[in-house]
């Protein structure tokens, strides 16, 4: 179920302003806001304003937004002072991927030494 907004979707609620969030960036297609449960000093979520449940659905319906999300993540990383030391952009997809909110989002994480591989 794609489309502009979906009832009972948490992140559609944030896009609509029905659920409060700490926004760090917004344009016509994308919104970025602080993760409510940060795992690092910088932990921002980047979402398309249109509802796509995961990266595969977005790849089918609106592939251009994926490039835009990555571009915004890179620009934000720079603005937030992460360009020198580095950062990570992550998408969790599906159950085994650890996805818990089924509105596509990328995590922008930084501000500390990150470990690899993830669990
Ligand atoms: P996922 O596990 O799906 O990749 O990531 C979902 C992320 O959304 C988690 O990092 C979680 O902390 C964050 N999150 C869940 N509910 C809310 C909320 O209501 N507001 C904000 N800002 N982040 C949320
Ligand atoms: Zn949604």
Q: Where along the chain do its domains lie? A: 10-110
Please say whether the beta carbons of 44 and 82 come within 8 A.
no
Report residues near ion ligand 2: CB below 5 Å: 6, 9, 11-12, 51, 103
Q: Ligand 1 within 6 A of 118 CB?
A: no
Q: What spacing in Å lies between the alpha carbon of 100 and ligand 1's midpoint? A: 8
Beta strand residue intervals within 49-95, DSSP E: 87-90
Q: Kindly list the distances between the CA atom of residue 94 and the CA atoms of 20, 55, 98, in Å, as whole numbers in the listed order.
A: 25, 9, 6
Which residue's CA lies nearest to atom 16 of ligand 1? 36
Task: Evaluate whether the domain defined by 10-110 bears CATH number 3.30.428.10.
Answer: yes
Q: Is residue 1's pLDDT more than 70?
A: no
Q: Is 105 a catalytic residue?
A: yes
Tokens for 23? 């926004």
Per-residue pLDDT band for 2 (boundaries 50, 70, 90) equals low
pLDDT tens-digit profile of 37-59? Answer: 999 999 999 999 999 999 999 99
The mean of the pLDDT values for the chain is 96
What's the rounded mean pLDDT across residues 107-111?
98
Substitution candidate for ligand 1 out of 12, 100, 107 with most atoms within 8 A of CB: 100
Cα(44)–Cα(26) distance, rounded to whole angstroms?
12
Q: Kindly list the distances between the CA atom of residue 24 and the CA atoms of 8, 42, 77, in Å, as whole numbers in the listed order.
A: 23, 11, 11
């Amino acid at each position: 179920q794609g489309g502009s907004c979906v009832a009972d979707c948490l992140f559609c609620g944030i896009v609509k302003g029905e659920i409060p969030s700490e926004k760090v960036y917004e344009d016509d297609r994308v919104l970025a806001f602080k993760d409510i449960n940060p795992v690092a000093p910088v932990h921002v979520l980047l979402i398309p304003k249109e509802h796509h449940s995961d990266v595969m659905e977005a790849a089918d319906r609106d592939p251009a937004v994926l490039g835009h999300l990555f571009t915004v993540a890179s620009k934000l990383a720079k603005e937030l002072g992460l360009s020198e030391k580095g950062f990570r952009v992550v998408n969790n997809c599906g159950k085994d991927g650890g996805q818990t909110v089924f509105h596509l989002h990328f995590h922008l994480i930084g501000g500390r030494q990150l470990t690899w591989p993830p669990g």
